[in-house]
Amino acid sequence: MTRLSDVRIRMQAENLDAVIITNLKNIYYLSGFWGTAGTILVTAKAQYLLTDSRYSIAAREVAVDFDIVETREALTEIAKLLKKEALTQVGFEDGVTYAEFQAMQTQLAGLTLRATSNFIEVFRQIKNPSEIATIKKACAISDQAFNDLLKFVEPGKTEIEIANFLDFKMRDLGASGISFDTIVASGKRSALPHGRATHKPIEFGDTVTVDFGCYYDHYASDMTRTFFVGSASPQMRAIYQIVQKAQQAVTDVSSAGLTYGDYDRAARDIIEAAGYGEAFSHGIGHGLGLDVHELPYFPKVSEDRLLENMVITNEPGIYVENIGGVRIEDDLLITKQGVEVLTKAPKALIIL
């Protein structure tokens, strides 16, 4: 009930009588229910999970703190519940589609509807021990898949073959699926930060960047490694060493209380000093949990601070057009004293 208590405290702070939750991952976070159809209504007095007959038995088994309402007309039932409690100030998640919002306006006519941003996501930033243990398992699966990949890659294998190897290997190791489309970018294409896997074959002398992750019991991992096939040019070796140094600097400086801006600058200052500032074209990382990309994010000038038990990514990179790129990404657990690095795969320069 702690999570519901947090919701009600925020409702009170924002002068809301009720809040409607439609994001399926937020529904899972609050209730333990996982399905393709569901809506939660939280009021000061009660909490309801509305779903259809496909899921009502499962919902009763897991969402034991909720009143389960079996329906295919969630808004119609919500209107009745709100009327019963004489509630008028109703929050909803701003991720709904325009069509869903129009339906709300029609079905909940006469009520004050107020969009909320990250209403549940702010709570999801801090992981409990069970969530941390699950994310560690997801990371261990990704680590093993990468170690196995190093035995698979050779000249002639295509980027798509590498991506498929990782995807199937993670499932074989217990993952329920991939957390995003696996990125494989080789040769000059490694300068593409999010280069999708193609039919390009790996060639002798290629730089290869792989960015991938999996879901395990609903929680995600996310890691990136760059390695070389056959040989690495002096320039790419130097770039790799700069990125490796920058990535380690972030790990070394991180702990609860560090500002988001300082988290970003730990890597960016090193890369800029090496003359590659413009080639580091993205943020330093993001939160990780039920979504592979979730709060927090790290604006360069933010004074917000890291909190204990956040799980975040550390992923600096350098990308030089027509030459190649390097990115190294770990998942980190923030602690009072520093960090625990959850990604264990090797980061030393690898030439296969």
Q: What is the DSSP string of 290-305?
A: SSSSEEEE--TT---B
Q: Say what the pLDDT of residue 183 is.
A: 98
Question: Which residues contact residue 89 at a Cβ distance below 8 angstroms, ignoring those fewer than 6 apart?
Answer: 15, 16, 17, 18, 111, 112, 114
Q: Pick the more confident residue, 301 or 231.
A: 231
Average of pLDDT values for 231-237? 98
Separation of alpha carbons 179 and 167, rounded Å: 10
Sheet with 330-334, edge to edge strand ranges: 294-297, 286-287, 311-314, 330-334, 339-341
182 pLDDT more than 80: yes
Residue 152 is which amino acid? Answer: F
> In which band, very low, low, confident or very high, does the pLDDT at 265 lie, cut at 50, 70 and 90?
very high
Please report, for residues 158, 248, 344, the alpha-carbon distance to residue 348 in angstroms, rounded to integers and kept in the order given.
24, 12, 12
Please, is 45 exposed, middle or buried when counting C-beta atoms within 10 Å of its C-beta (0-12, 13-18, 19+)?
A: exposed
Coil, helix or strand at residue 234: helix
pLDDT at 188 over 90: yes
- Which residues neighbour 38 within 8 Å (Cβ) at sequence distance 6 or greater? 24, 27, 49, 50, 51, 55, 59
CATH-assigned architecture of domain 129-341: Alpha-Beta Complex (3.90)
The model carries a pTM of: 0.96
CA proximity to 140, closest of 71, 217, 73:
217
- Determine the Cα–Cα distance for residues 291 and 33; give it in Å rounded to an integer: 16
Percentage with pLDDT > 90 across the chain: 99
Write down the domain spans for the chain.
2-124, 129-341
- Residue range 264-280: mean pLDDT, rounded: 98
Cα Dmax for the chain:
72
Write out pLDDT tens, residues 57-83: 999 999 999 999 999 999 999 999 999
Query: CA-CA-CA-CA torsion for 23, 140, 252, 309, nearest 10 degrees?
Result: 40
Q: What is the average pLDDT value for the chain, to the nearest integer?
A: 97
> What HEC string does 168-182 produce?
HHHHHCCCCEECCCC
Residue 342 has pLDDT above 80, yes or no: yes
* Alpha helices (H) along the chain: 2-13, 24-31, 56-62, 74-84, 98-107, 121-124, 129-152, 159-172, 234-253, 260-273
At 215, is the pLDDT very low, low, confident or very high (cuts 50, 70, 90)?
Answer: very high
Architecture of domain 2-124: 3-Layer(aba) Sandwich (3.40)
Predicted confidence at residue 234, as pLDDT, reads: 98
- Enumerate helices (H) and strands (E) in the chain, giving the number of each: 10, 19
Q: How confident is the model at residue 1 (pLDDT cuts 50, 70, 90)?
A: low
Contact status, residue 138 vs residue 213, Cβ threshold 8 Å: yes
Can you tell me the distance from the alpha carbon of 113 to that of 128, in angstroms, rounded to the nearest whole number? 32
pLDDT of residue 170: 98
What local confidence, expressed as pLDDT, does residue 106 receive? 96
pLDDT at 244: 98
Each residue of 108-161: pLDDT tens digit?
999 999 999 999 999 999 999 999 999 999 999 999 999 999 999 999 999 999
pLDDT in tens, 4-46: 999 999 999 999 999 999 999 999 999 999 999 999 999 999 9
The verdict on whether omega for the bond into residue 296 sits within 30 degrees of 0, i.e. cis, is yes
Q: How many residues are recorded in the chain?
A: 352
pLDDT band at 47 (very low <50, low <70, confident <90, very high): very high
- Summarize the confidence of residues 236-252 as an average pLDDT: 98
Question: Does 231 have pLDDT greater than 90?
Answer: yes
CA 110/CA 90 separation, integer angstroms = 11
